[in-house]
Chains A and B, each alone.
Chain A
Amino acid sequence: MRFYENRQLVTPGDLLAEGDYVAGKNTYRIDNRIYASRLGLVEYGDREVRVVALNAFYVPSVGDLVIGKITEVNVNGWIVDINSPYSAILKASDVFERGFKPQKDDLTEIFNIGDLILAKITSYDRTRNPQLTIREPGLGKITKGQIVKITPTKIPRVIGRKGSMINTLKRETGCRITIGQNGLILIHGKNPDDERLAIMAIHKIELEAHTSGLTDRVTEMIRREKGVRDEEGS
């Protein structure tokens, strides 16, 4: 038995369903009743009930691409702030060849405090902090572009179904956009104005993620802003 309509806004403690359902994300079960545990939009599947949270912090998942900031350097590696309750660890062995025993200076030369990196989560469990790697192509220190931070639960909306939203953004702003699952997005455009357009669009997506017709409105907004800017420029 379902007590709400699909995509209706629910709050923690709302009784979503009763019966033989599986408690999906952001819900919990007592006996045969499923309750919401976060504010968000309820989604009923055939066997599962879940809530798409409107606001939640990032919990690391193995394989996620993340953007992080170096906060500490020690002899074993670096501690990285990945916008999560837990800080992540990038081991020196991930960067240096096996057998090489780096000095702290060597590490500082590669990544120093305050540097931004694009990395992947390689392991994470309840007893230890998440571990990162930068060994894959495309990963490593971020040197160009701007970073936007949004609430991590809205990242899927920025990507869109089959990439529809992010492709729209890339196309309309001409920027390169790299999405971190931890809510940080790297934008690198031909000029700061293009980057600013992309940032505006992303903020709009964050604000209106729970509404429909968003892709069209975002496209419209970017084109309108570009129009205004081109007019002012000429």
Chain B
Amino acid sequence: MKKVPERLIDENMLRVDGRRWNELRPIKLEVGILSNADGSAYIEQGRSKILAAVYGPRELHPRHLALPDRAMLRCRYHMAPFSVEERKSPAPSRREIELSKVIREALEPTIFLELYPRTAIDLYIEILQADGGTRCAGITVASLALADAGIPMRDLVVACAAGKVDGQIVLDLNDVEDKLGEADVPLAMMPSLGAITLLQMDGMLTVEEFEQAINLAMEGCRQIYKLQKEALKAKYTAIKEEVETQ
């Protein structure tokens, strides 16, 4: 059983993992790591580890389920039984069902669904290890998997959470901060278009604090967006450098 810390922010204004209020956890991104999926990507954000894969667009059977004028995005957010402190049953929980829905709704606005009528785009997000912020990291990595699959998008969708911990508005809450803090505001956006596609909040905030949290989350998103772009280009940039300098 984990020990519960007394304070989440110490006298040096450092958080339990040594970060300052506006620092992101270390992030690692990799694209195109599964050979069978049409697109895939992997993220580590702090101690959260998440894998996303895309199949599609592919024809949808049975036919009557398909939409006549656009593709259907289906999303499954799922936690592995060993991903959390106490083993979680593999059956989808209500939380996973809700998150599957809000994640799908965060990504739908970016895909040109009308280009592929009667098909389905299946997105699978597997949480291999959870340490807070999994829906946000899941959206961030899912965008890369969609781009890796060559699905045309308006923009990469990037997500980050801000919240209130020990009275302070902070960026990118880890698991302990999420569980013991005063509020959590996950947010997803398309940075090029300034469009927010996911927004939730639980906890207690004044309207002013909420505005601070949104601004901070959007700032975090912009930083992660740069990392997304780099990760997407990485494979090709490496090859280009390698062969053109021979």
List A residues at the B interface (Cβ < 8 Å). 9, 11-15, 26, 28, 30, 35, 37-39, 53-57, 85-87, 126-127, 151, 153, 207-208, 210-213, 217
Chain B residues proximal to chain A, CB less than 8 Å: 38, 56-59, 68, 110, 112, 116-119, 147-150, 152-156, 190-193, 228-229, 232-233, 236-237, 239-240, 243-244, 246
**B191 cross-chain contacts in A, Cβ below 8 A:** 13
Chain B residues with Cβ below 8 Å from A207 are 239
CB pair A212 B244 closer than 8 Å: yes
Q: Could you list some 20 contacts between A and B, CB below 8 A?
A: A9-B233, A11-B233, A13-B154, A13-B191, A13-B192, A35-B155, A37-B112, A37-B152, A38-B150, A38-B153, A39-B147, A39-B148, A39-B233, A57-B149, A85-B58, A85-B119, A86-B59, A151-B150, A213-B244, A217-B243
Add 5 more A-B contacts to A13-B190, A13-B193, A39-B233 (CB < 8 A). Answer: A11-B232, A13-B154, A13-B156, A28-B152, A127-B68
Q: Give A12 to B152 CA distance when docked, in angstroms.
A: 8
- In whole angstroms, what is the CA distance A126 to B112 when docked? 14
A13 touches B155 (CB 8 A): yes
* Pair B57/A37 contact, Cβ less than 8 Å: no
A55, A85, A87, most chain B CB atoms within 10 A: A85
Decide if B38 touches A12 in the complex (CB within 8 Å): no
A-B contact count (CB 8 A): 90
Q: Residue of A at shortest CB range from B233?
A: A9
Which chain B residues border A55 with CB–CB below 8 Å?
Answer: 148-150
Q: Which residue of A lies closest to B60 (CB)?
A: A85
Tell me, in angstroms, the Cα distance from A127 to B117 when the chains sit together.
Answer: 8
Closest 4 CB pairs of A and B: A13-B155, A56-B150, A85-B57, A37-B152
Decide: A12 near B57, CB < 8 A? Known: A26-B152, A210-B240: no
In the complex, which residues of chain A have a beta carbon less than 8 angstroms from the beta carbon of B152? 12, 26, 28, 37-38, 56
Closest Cβ of chain A to B188, distance in Å, is: 14
B143 closest partner in A (C-beta): A12
Chain A, residue nearest B246 (CB): A217
Contacts of A15 in B (CB 8 A): 192
| Contact in complex: B236, A210 (CB < 8 Å) | yes
Contact A35 B154 (CB under 8 A): yes
Output the least CB separation between A161 and chain B (Å).
Answer: 18
Question: How far, in Å, is B62 (CB) from chain A's closest CB?
Answer: 15
The answer for the CA separation of A54 and B235 in the assembled complex, in Å, is 11
Residues on the A chain within 8 Å of B193, using CB: 13, 30
B30 nearest CB across to chain A (Å):
15
B243 touches A208 (CB 8 A): yes
Does B59 contact A38, Cβ atoms closer than 8 Å? Answer: no
Select B150's contact among A30, A35, A57, A210, beta carbons within 8 Å.
A57
Contacts of B148 in A (CB 8 A): 39, 55
Query: Given A13-B192, A15-B192, A37 and B153 touching (CB < 8 A)?
Result: yes
Per the bound structure, the CA–CA distance linking A69 and B110 in Å amounts to 33
